[in-house]
Amino acid sequence: MFIPPFCDRQDAGAQLAQVVLQDLDTLGWLPAHPSREVVVYGLPRGGVILALPLAEALHCPLDVVIAKKITLPNNAELAIGAVTADGQVLRARRQLFGLKTEDWKTARAAAWQRALEQGQQFDAVTPHISPTGRVAVLVDDGIATGMTMVAAARSLWSKRPAKLLICAPVAPPQVVQRLQQWCDRTILLYTPVEFYSVSRFYQNFPQVEMEEAIACLQTYNRPMGGIDH
């Protein structure tokens, strides 16, 4: 009988935080003043909840990178790419066979608009810290195809961080190599061959509403929160 290794996102975040902290220390990548030299970025919405324990453990700011799947209007489950709010686009070429250029452009524009709208919702509760010259820790609650994570990593990579880490509790082994191309280090607690879905590895995996993610960021990044941003 398979027993999920994580109770919920908070539990997964706490487990991941321990490994990330130890890894950074072992590699010598943990700065003397992480509050000024490290930024944790969560992928909304679930990744924000999971990123919170990492930011708390590192005593550093918590920010977001907005990335949305690009899907076809007649099949919302089929991801044909991903786009970030700042315009980084990833195309799943194998899925684009036979897709008309106009259909791709329409789907891309719709996803980008969703990313921009979500970015506006988070605007007032994020510190808007550039990763340039900092250790950037990019976090999600799990990785399936890797499309949104790679798009988000490309967005951060283009801003020249000192180091970029991609972190998640679980991901299928076939996406790991692709992730490694866009970061200095991948930290994944589980890479099971029998993956099926991210939710399989959680005992409780409810949908995270925007209000919860916004409240999480607002509370942590409040002006008198004790974090030296």
Amino acid at 157: W
Check residue 228 and give its pLDDT.
Answer: 45
pLDDT digits (tens, 9 = 90+) for 198-222: 999 999 999 999 999 999 999 999 8
Domain with CATH 3.40.50.2020 in the chain: 9-65+124-220
Neighbour order of strands in the sheet with 67-72: 67-72, 75-84, 89-91
Check residue 96 and give its pLDDT.
Answer: 59
Dist. CA 58–CA 17, nearest whole Å? 8
pLDDT digits (tens, 9 = 90+) for 129-181: 999 999 999 999 999 999 999 999 999 999 999 999 999 999 999 999 999 99
Confidence of residue 99 (pLDDT cuts 50, 70, 90): confident
51 neighbors 41 (Cβ within 8 angstroms): yes
β-bridge pairing 75-84 and 67-72:
antiparallel
Tell me the percentage of the chain whose pLDDT exceeds 90: 83
> 81 Cβ partners below 8 Å, 6+ apart?
69, 70, 89, 90, 91, 92, 95, 96, 107, 108, 111, 147
Amino acid at 15: Q
Dist. CA 67–CA 200, nearest whole Å? 23
Check residue 224 and give its pLDDT.
Answer: 37
- Domain 9-65+124-220, second-level architecture: 3-Layer(aba) Sandwich (3.40)
Confidence of residue 225 (pLDDT cuts 50, 70, 90): very low
Report which of residues 75 and 55 the model is more confident about.
55
